[in-house]
Amino acid sequence: MRNLLKIFFIVFVFLGCANDNTSVNNIVKYKGTYTGNDITYNGSAIYAVAAITVEESGKVTLEIRRDNGTLNFYADADFIKELSSTKFEVNSLGQYLSLDFSNGLYFIFNQGKGNYSGNLTKQ
């Protein structure tokens, strides 16, 4: 009986330590770079170009270029949460990024003081 308990404990620990990050596996289906210039800030159209890159590792990079500078956001795969097979969200350091791959890529980025959003096309 004691040996059986040891085996169950070892299996339980092994399964608990295994990193089966399905969010990473599923977002990798959308790997590549998406770009576009149809960007809004707090609901108003702005002159900006956005690019989002999904890497093989699941890392997500956002870059928004405006006249007055560039906004960058990076998130490792550990911060990705899968909402559905086509929708993901990333929470990192008080910033939020929503990704919807239903039709191209629609994103919403909240950095605390404002929301950027837009439709991007895969390159």
pTM for this one? 0.79
Instruction: Please report the pLDDT score of residue 118 as a whole number.
Output: 97
**Which of 83, 102, 79, 77 shows the shortest CA–CA distance to 91?**
79
Cross-strand bridge partners of residue 35: 51, 121
Decide if 54 contacts 82 (C-beta within 8 A).
no
For the chain, domain boundaries = 21-122
Cα distance between residue 101 and residue 97, in whole Å: 13
Cα distance between residue 57 and residue 105, in whole Å: 19
> How many CB atoms are closer than 10 A to CB 15?
9
Instruction: Please report the pLDDT score of residue 99 as a whole number.
Output: 97
Per-residue pLDDT of the chain (123 residues; tens, 9 = 90+): 555 444 544 544 344 444 445 556 789 999 999 999 999 999 999 999 999 999 999 999 999 999 999 999 999 888 899 999 999 998 877 899 999 999 999 999 998 889 999 999 999
Instruction: Please report the pLDDT score of residue 3 as a whole number.
Output: 55
Backbone CA torsion sign across 76, 25, 95, 18: negative
Decide if 115 contacts 42 (C-beta within 8 A).
yes
Instruction: Please report the pLDDT score of residue 17 as a whole number.
Output: 40
The class (CATH top level) of 21-122 is mainly beta
